[in-house]
Amino acid sequence: MDPRRNPYAPRAGTPPPELAGRNDIIERAAIALHRIANGRAAQSLILYGLRGVGKTVLLSRMRLDAEQEGYVPVTIEAPEDRSLPAILGPALRTTLIRMSRGAAAKKALKKALGALASFARTAKIKYEDVEFNVDFEAAIGLADSGDLDTDLTDLLRSVGETAAERSTAVILFLDELQYVPEEQLAALICALHSVNQHQLPLTLVGAGLPQLLGQMGRAKSYAERLFELVPIDALDAEAARQALCIPAEHEGVQFEDVAVEEIVSRTEGYPYFLQEWGKCAWSEADASLITHQDALRATDVALAELDASFFRVRFDRLTPAEKLYLRAMAELGAAPHRSGDIAQMMGKKPSAVAPIRNRIIGKGMAYSPSHGDTAFTVPLFR
Ligand SMILES: Nc1ncnc2c1ncn2[C@@H]1O[C@H](COP(=O)(O)OP(=O)(O)O)[C@@H](O)[C@H]1O
Ligand SMILES: [Mg+2]
């Protein structure tokens, strides 16, 4: 069928034509943010799950909703190997500038700008990748101790006070949170805890790979009081059907029931794969009915495309030793696997391959669902 009208969107972070099966969680976020914005007790959300389940698009949707509520969203993606101050600082700078518009009171704003100027200066000494500058006089005694816990607390509290002064709320949307080094994550949680205790209208909505769960727990035991940790999983059969069929229906195209069944079972309901299969099935079909045959051919094409892109970009980031480790995992069958079994498959001692495992987890390719177990973070990667 006409590729111009193909509605599917298999791309990391690209909003799907139909965001299926996530209404509950969107509503839960809206309630939590509304409560926090109004000084009421609530847990904010941290979304965790495998690659391709739709965490980033959920964050984007929550961000849009927050904007419509009149809050000030701050979108940040934690890249690998960057410090939190280096990514948070510039984002907060933009936020404060945004909030400086208009004629409202500015006492808290000036304090926050001073705190950020101090923070920039202090953080530069400790973190080599901090580069931003704030064109404002540094506040003395605020965010300048050199201790990240204290300085982030000063900074986020003063940003929260600015939000209160302007009768709004600042919501930090932080994606790929698993890449934030643990002691910096702990400092962030500590700062948010203080903001929360002062009932200031500032919070974080986060997302990351499953390893985040353990990282949060180790980072600060009160993380679980501040946040509801929400697992984001594959879609159930009904939501998967909607994700597939509704975009086609908008274009006047139907799926045969057996075609839907084929795709839902092949994709295991993973959102990324549903988009990929939807796109391929659409291309294969030549009339406004997508048949079982089309779905079967889509499987071949979709797998080849995934191999060339989604899986390839990840595989290419691995060293030869890391590839061998993943190969051993794949040979063992469906994950999770015990570290000892993987080592044995490789003909090595567990202690000899432990550093490889750590690097694979650090790169976000695998995670540990429970102590000593290893599983892929990417569905179908095996
Ligand atoms: N609820 C959903 N329904 C249908 N498609 C979805 C849904 N959530 C995500 N997608 C699609 O899945 C793909 C991966 O989404 P993304 O947010 O990048 O996942 P993650 O951040 O968890 O790796 C994108 O192509 C997106 O359009
Ligand atoms: Mg993502």
The list of the chain residues with pLDDT below 50 reads none
Give the Å distances, CA to CA, from 105 to 110, 141, 267. Answer: 10, 23, 53
Which ligand 1 atom is at minimum distance from the Cα of 276?
25
Comparing CA positions, the residue from 296, 376, 264 lying closest to residue 329 is 376
Pocket of ligand 1 (CB under 6 A): 9-16, 18-22, 49, 51-57, 243, 271-272, 274-275
Tell me how far the alpha carbon of residue 13 lies from the centroid of ligand 1, in angstroms.
Answer: 7
CA-nearest residue for atom 6, ligand 1, is 271
Tell me how far the alpha carbon of residue 278 lies from the centroid of ligand 2, in angstroms.
Answer: 20
> 309-314 — which CB contacts under 8 Å span 24+ positions?
310/52, 310/272, 310/276, 310/378, 311/378, 311/380, 311/381, 314/365, 314/378, 314/381
pLDDT of residue 335: 76
Q: Which ligand is nearest to the CA of 62?
A: 1
Can you tell me the distance from the alpha carbon of 219 to that of 235, in angstroms, rounded to the nearest whole number?
Answer: 30
Q: Which ligand is nearest to the CA of 48?
A: 1
pLDDT of residue 372: 87
Specify which residues 230 forms β-bridges with: 47
Tell me how far the alpha carbon of residue 52 lies from the centroid of ligand 1, in angstroms.
Answer: 6
Tell me how far the alpha carbon of residue 229 lies from the centroid of ligand 2, in angstroms.
Answer: 16
CA-nearest residue for atom 9, ligand 1, is 54
Tell me how far the alpha carbon of residue 211 lies from the centroid of ligand 1, in angstroms.
Answer: 19
pLDDT of residue 166: 95
Which of 6, 275, 376 has most ligand 1 atoms within 8 Å of CB, for mutation? Answer: 275
- Percent of the chain residues past pLDDT 70, beyond the cut: 100
